[in-house]
Homo-oligomer: A and B are copies of this chain.
Amino acid sequence: MTDFLPPIQTMARDDAVLKALVGFVRQEALGPGEKLPTERILAERLKVSRNTVREALTRWEGLGLVERRQGSGTYLKAAVSPDMLHMPLTLAGGNDFAGLMRTLEIRRALEAEAAALCAIRAGKAEIAEIERKLGIMEDAFRTRAGMSSEEDWEFHQAVYRASGNPLFEQIISAMHELFHRFWEHPLGVRDFGHASFPYHRTIFDRIAAHDPEGARAEALKLIATVEDDLKRGAANLKLSDRR
C-alpha cells in the first residue's frame, strides 16, 4: 500500500504575499537599494491584513533580502528572483577563536576550489581584472608597509567572481560580514597577514597560466599562513572581549 497521496498543501498567506512581491519587484525592475511600497499599501492592494504583510517582510528581512527603516520605508537589499532558494545556516558557538578557526577551514576549502576553477575558466578580461586588483593591493602594501584588509578582500572577491560560480562569493561574503570584527582585526599580532602577501601573486600567476592544481596549491599555502598568524594571535590574546 504505498500509493503516495500528495501531501495536500494550501499555500500560506505570507508565502503568497512574498510571491506577489517577487512579481511586483520584477515588473517594476527594482534593484538593490530601491524602496518598495509601504506595508499599508501592500496590505490594501493584496487584500490581506497589514499583519500578514509584516510577517512576510519579517521573513525576507531575516534572509537579508530587505531592510526596514522605521519612519522611512522598506528597502531592497539584494536582487530577488522567482526561483530563489534559501539556505539559512546557524552556527552554534561560533563567536570565539575556535569558531573563527572553523570558518577559516571552510574558507580554505572554498578558496582553493575557487582558485582552481578560476584557473580553468577565467578569460582575458577576468584575468586582467584580477591583476588590476592585485596591483592595487601591492601598492597599498608598499605605501602603508603592511597588509590592507580592504584591498586584500577585493582581490579575493575578484577571484571568486572569475570562478564562474556566484555561490563562492555569496558564502564567503556572508562569513566575511559575520566575522567582520575578527577578520579585519590584527588580533594583537603585529604585521597580521604579512606572511600571506607573496602568495597573492603566486596565485595570480597560476591562474594566468591556467594551472588549476597549481592555483589550488598556492591558495592552500596562503590560508595556511593566515592560520599561523591566527594561532600566534590566540597565544597573545586571551580573547576575553568576545562581547
Contacts of A114 in B (CB 8 A): 109
Residue-by-residue, is A85-98 near B (CB-CB < 8 Å gives 1, otherwise 0)? 11111111111100
**Which one of A59-67, A125-133, A231-239 is at the interface?**
A59-67
**Binary interface encoding of chain A residues 42-64 relative to chain B, with 1 for a CB under 8 A from any of its CBs, else 0:** 00000000010011001100111
Query: What is the count of identical protomers in the complex?
Result: 2
Given contacts A55-B58, A59-B62, contact A165 B102 (CB under 8 A): yes
* In the complex, A105 has a CB within 8 A of chain B: yes
User: B94–A83 contact, CB under 8 A?
Assistant: yes
Chain B: minimal CB distance from A107 (Å):
10
- A105-B165, A113-B109, A166-B102 known; A85+B90 contact, CB < 8 A: yes
Give which listed residue, B51, B79, B89, B99, contacts A89 with CB less than 8 A. Answer: B89
- CB-based contact B106/A110 at 8 Å: yes
| Cβ-closest 7 pairs across A and B | A109-B113, A83-B95, A62-B62, A88-B88, A87-B89, A109-B109, A87-B174
